[in-house]
Chains A and B, each alone.
Chain A
Amino acid sequence: MTPTLQVFLIVSAALFSIGLLAALSRRHAIFILIGIEMMLAAANLNFIVFWRFGPQHQPPVGVMIALFSIAIAAAEAAVGLAIVIAVYRHYRSTNVDEFNQLRG
């Protein structure tokens, strides 16, 4: 079976769905972050796949976009982790269900 566009898109959609599920269902803040990172990975996979199977694949366009995206994701993860640590220090917990001070 040769790898085609559909195969990759299915993989990426699966990855995204798994990430979304994790982000929505887990109660631990770190796991939510991991879910989000998985959704980002799915998006990056799409960039590369659409570049690779696109009509004209000049060398590094898609890869570079993916690299940028990974860099941004890293920065975002750093910020997210810092928030998680700050929140943990405050509440002595990482259970997101307890963080409801911003409710209307």
Chain B
Amino acid sequence: MNSGFVNHFWFIPAVPFAASLVILSLPNNRRKVAAALAVVGQVLALAMSIMAFATTLQTPDSRVVLNFTWFTFGEQTLRLGFLLDPLAAAMLVMITLVGLCIFVFSVGYMAEDKNFPRFFAYLSFFAGAMLGLVIANSLLLLFMFWELVGLASYLLIGFWIERPAAAEAAKKAFITTRIGDMGFFLGMLWLYNRSGTLLFYDRGNGCLEAAGLATLGASATFIALLIFCGAAGKSGQFPLHVWLPDAMEGPTPVSALIHAATMVAAGVFLVARVYPLFALGAINGVTPSLTVVVWIGVTTALMAALIAIAQADIKRILAYSTVSQLGLMMVSLGVGGVAAGIMHLLAHGFFKALLFLGAGSVIHGCNGEQDIRKMGGLRRFMPMTFATYAVGMMALSGVPLFFSGGWTKEEILHVTAHWPQSHAPYYLVLAGVVLTALYMTRQIIYVFFGEARSASAHAHESPRVMTMPLIVLALCAIFFSVVLTPAWPWLDAYLTGEGVRFDLARLIQPMLFLSLVLVGSSVALGVWIYRKAGVPNGKRPANVDPLEYAQPVLFRFLANKMWIDELYQQTIIGVSWMCARLSDWMDRFFWDGLVRGFGACGQIFGIFTARVDERGINAGVDETAAGARGLGRLLSAAHSGQIQTYLGAIAVGMLALLLLYAWLA
């Protein structure tokens, strides 16, 4: 292995950044160059990520740290650094691989867009920011990349800026995540105040190492919770999840990138990265901060899964599914299953990217239609999309044995079941698993089965440039499970730094049968409920969902996202609005009056000084000037211009001097 490369792994984010800058400087009609640059940048990043990954394989439990001084002020030096450990390396490979598939897919999906190069510049920028975030060895550096990810998401969600909804969604995403980032920033300041360093690992002096953690004491809980605010914002956890479904306004590859490989993964990654902070002072694996993480995660997972059942937009269903899955990951982290959470994050990256790109392919085939009630029967028109989508659906639903999502979900259920504090999260997560299988079944029946409806009548399969990434991702979603099975938990061992051994007996456990039964029954339930979806059945018209027909009030509650947006509109935004109105009024009448009062005082003083000037000083100066003028007039009369007069004056003067002399002598 190229040992020199290990010390330059910061090239991995630098390459997409450089590609992005070059693309931005290109003229807008160099479409092929732009796409090629972005894809090549991503391929290079992938190659380097694999090299970095291989390096971490060679030396188990390795941690390559590159620290450097950013600047010095007085006695203090501010140091940043990069870190390569199994967690970062696994994330790097996942991000670059999924990113590459999305980039290639975008070439086909965005082919007709007029701002094609700009799109690829932003995509590269997004990937670069996320890669930088993953390898940061300093909370400050991580925060910088964190904000760059936020900026990139803003640019990409609002990419179709001419649509008001897209601009609104971009703003919402930016502001909502910013609320979380505020907490993150405060937590970071607090951490710096206590430990004096923001480096994670620094030869025993970092803030995540024993010496650094010892300085924190009781404040660790608050710091961890503040940092979790940021993670909740980015990863769409309740109550900051509202931006995520709206982010669907961006182009579909962006949704895939945000929901699978970048952005939302950042929050989970952050919690995993600063996990020692959360786990500090744990009794039996439980700390107050981790308990908060668990309950937030459970709430999010269940709520989002419920909302997903009642959505009609193909991308919104996937968005809520992402929110739900992220909640699941948070639960896993909270109950102590860091490796399980990260494994689910990685597996989720593959199959969620697959689902989103599949949805993009469907939307592309249906000429931009996103309402699943208007699709149907696409199985026949888009066989490749259907096959890959089915793989993604089964991975997400957690079908065991062959799909990566099944194993990681199993793992999460396993760690959750052993949480000492309460068994409630376990049952709630199980309910979430059932709901996941249900809404994915509903979606796939609506979109791919039954008769073709209005939007899918003229559907066509997408070009190869779009189906190839789908196939690659589907293969990843399947073969990724090889390293996840309990029989050979290679990835688990890699992440935790333990040895791995092959044991087929572990494959057979009660949990496996439980999830097999649960997933199987909920898929069957879904098939039974939605078998006649989209066609009239009895008194139910064609465009009414079977569940909507059975429970109209409940369905409306879920379809309207539990009215959380409306609640925020009424409470938080309402209060802000009131405050704004009050400030406006204060400005207009109180402060303005004060300013006007001061102004009037100034005016009066001005008038007074003007009077003094005119009457006193000006008059004096005028008088002097008049005197000088009079004297000048008088003297100028003596200048007759006649030489002889002057001569005479001289003579008289001389005579006078003589007389004076004579008189004095």
Contact = CB atoms under 8 A, between A and B. Distances in A.
Contact of B644 (A96, A101, A104): A96
Interface residues of A, number: 13
B2 interface: no
A50 interface: no
A1 interface: no
A66 interface: no
Interface string A81-104: 000000000000000110111111
Interface in A18-50: 20, 23-25, 32
B643 A103 contact: no
Nearest to B654: A20
B636 A104 contact: yes
B641 interface: yes
Contacts, number: 34
A20 B649 CA distance: 12
B648 A99 contact: no
B641 A100 contact: yes
Given A104-B636, A104-B637, A24 B648 contact: yes
Interface residues of B, number: 13
Nearest to B638: A104
Nearest to A103: B641
A90 to B, nearest CB: 15
Interface string B617-647: 0000000000000000001111111111001
Contacts of A102: 639, 641
Nearest to B643: A96
Contact of B640 (A20, A24, A100): A100
A96 B647 CA distance: 12
B642 A23 contact: no
Contacts of A24: 644, 647-648, 651
B427 to A, nearest CB: 117
Contacts of B643: 32, 96, 99
Contacts of B635: 104
B651 A32 contact: no
B633 to A, nearest CB: 9
Contacts of A23: 644, 647
Contacts of B639: 102-104
A20 B636 CA distance: 26
A34 to B, nearest CB: 14
A19 to B, nearest CB: 11
A43 to B, nearest CB: 13
Nearest to B655: A20
A104 B639 CA distance: 5
A12 to B, nearest CB: 15
Contacts of A97: 642
23 contacts: A20-B651, A23-B644, A23-B647, A24-B644, A24-B647, A24-B648, A24-B651, A25-B644, A32-B643, A96-B642, A96-B644, A97-B642, A99-B641, A99-B642, A99-B643, A100-B640, A100-B641, A103-B639, A103-B642, A104-B635, A104-B636, A104-B638, A104-B639
Interface of A: 20, 23-25, 32, 96-97, 99-104
Interface of B: 635-644, 647-648, 651
| 5 tightest A-B CB contacts, nearest first | A104-B639, A103-B641, A104-B636, A100-B641, A102-B641
